Chains A and B, each alone.
Chain A
Amino acid sequence: VSRRRALGLGLEILVPVLILLAWQLWTVHADSFKFPRLSTILVEFRHEYIFAKLSSDVLPSLERIFAGFAIATIAGVAIGIALGMSRFLRRLAIPHIEYWRAMPPPALLPISIILLHSIQNRQKIAFIAFFCIFPVLLNTMDGVRGIDPTMLDTARSFRIPRHQRVLRIVLPSALPQIIAGMRNSLALAVIMMVLSEYWSSSSGVGYQLLISKNTFQFGPMWAAIVLIGVLGYLLNVLFVLFERHVLAWHRGWRAATPQ
Chain B
Amino acid sequence: MLAPEQLADATGSGALAAAPSPRLRFSPGAVLVPALSVAAALALWELISRTNTISQHDLPSMSTSFSALWSLLQTSAFWGALLRTIRGWALGLAIATALAVPCGILLGSFELVGRAFRIPIEFLRPIPSAVLIPVLFLTLGTNLKSEVFLATFGAFWPLLVQTMYGVRDVDPIALDTARSFGLGPLERLWRVTLPSAVPYIATGVRISSTVSLILAFTAELFMGIPGLGQKVNVVSSFGQTDLVFAYAIAVGFLGLAIHLAFSALERRALRWHPSQRLGTT
CB atoms of A15 and B117 under 8 A apart: yes
> Number of contacting residues on A, CB 8 A?
60
Contact of B248 among A88, A108, A195, A225 (CB under 8 A): A108
CB atoms of A107 and B217 under 8 A apart: yes
Q: How far is the CA of A95 from the CA of B34 in the complex (A)?
A: 6
Q: How far is the CA of A91 from the CA of B35 in the complex (A)?
A: 9
CB atoms of A12 and B115 under 8 A apart: yes
Q: B116 within 8 Å of A by Cβ?
A: yes
Q: Which residues of A contact B241 (CB under 8 A)?
A: 114
CB distance from B244 to the nearest CB of A (A): 5
CB distance from A30 to the nearest CB of B (A): 12
Q: A109 within 8 Å of B by Cβ?
A: yes
Q: Which residues of B contact A8 (CB under 8 A)?
A: 111-112, 115
Q: Which residues of A contact B128 (CB under 8 A)?
A: 190-191, 194-195, 228, 232
| Known A-B contacts A104-B213, A191-B128; A94 and B15 likewise in contact (beta carbons under 8 Å) | yes
Q: Which residues of A contact B34 (CB under 8 A)?
A: 91-92, 94-95
Q: How far is the CA of A253 from the CA of B37 in the complex (A)?
A: 41
CB distance from B18 to the nearest CB of A (A): 8
Contact of B37 among A96, A199, A233 (CB under 8 A): A96
CB atoms of A142 and B37 under 8 A apart: no
Q: Which residues of B contact A9 (CB under 8 A)?
A: 115
Q: B224 within 8 Å of A by Cβ?
A: no
CB atoms of A198 and B256 under 8 A apart: no
Q: How far is the CA of A138 from the CA of B112 in the complex (A)?
A: 36
Q: Which of B135-143, B163-171, B175-183 lines the interface with chain A?
A: B135-143
CB atoms of A198 and B244 under 8 A apart: no
CB atoms of A94 and B11 under 8 A apart: yes
Contact of B126 among A91, A106, A108, A187 (CB under 8 A): A187
CB atoms of B112 and A11 under 8 A apart: yes
Q: B120 within 8 Å of A by Cβ?
A: yes
Q: Name A227's closest neighbour in chain B (CB-CB).
A: B131
Q: Which residues of B contact A92 (CB under 8 A)?
A: 33-34, 37
CB atoms of A110 and B236 under 8 A apart: yes
CB atoms of A16 and B37 under 8 A apart: no
Q: Which residues of A contact B10 (CB under 8 A)?
A: 95, 98
CB atoms of B217 and A191 under 8 A apart: no
Contact of B256 among A88, A98, A142, A194 (CB under 8 A): A98
CB atoms of A190 and B126 under 8 A apart: yes
Q: B123 within 8 Å of A by Cβ?
A: yes
Q: Which residues of A contact B120 (CB under 8 A)?
A: 15-16, 19
CB atoms of B112 and A104 under 8 A apart: no
Q: B192 within 8 Å of A by Cβ?
A: no
CB distance from A101 to the nearest CB of B (A): 8
| Known A-B contacts A114-B58, A229-B123; A103 and B130 likewise in contact (beta carbons under 8 Å) | no
CB distance from B199 to the nearest CB of A (A): 17
Q: B133 within 8 Å of A by Cβ?
A: yes
Q: B54 within 8 Å of A by Cβ?
A: yes
| Known A-B contacts A102-B210, A138-B16; A109 and B221 likewise in contact (beta carbons under 8 Å) | yes
CB distance from A225 to the nearest CB of B (A): 5
Q: Which residues of B contact A225 (CB under 8 A)?
A: 131-132, 134-135
| Known A-B contacts A8-B115, A93-B37; A107 and B131 likewise in contact (beta carbons under 8 Å) | no
CB distance from A180 to the nearest CB of B (A): 13
CB atoms of B248 and A107 under 8 A apart: yes
CB atoms of B37 and A115 under 8 A apart: no
Q: How far is the CA of A221 from the CA of B131 in the complex (A)?
A: 10
Q: How far is the CA of A142 from the CA of B29 in the complex (A)?
A: 21
| Known A-B contacts A8-B115, A96-B38, A98-B256; A91 and B33 likewise in contact (beta carbons under 8 Å) | yes
- Would you mind naming 12 contact pairs between A and B with Cβ atoms under 8 Å apart? A15-B116, A16-B123, A99-B256, A102-B252, A104-B218, A106-B222, A108-B248, A117-B58, A142-B19, A209-B134, A224-B131, A233-B126
Nearest 3 pairs of A and B residues by beta carbon:
A110-B236, A213-B134, A102-B255
Additional pairs, 6, CB under 8 Å, beyond known A16-B123, A117-B58, A195-B128: A7-B112, A11-B116, A12-B116, A99-B7, A104-B255, A224-B131
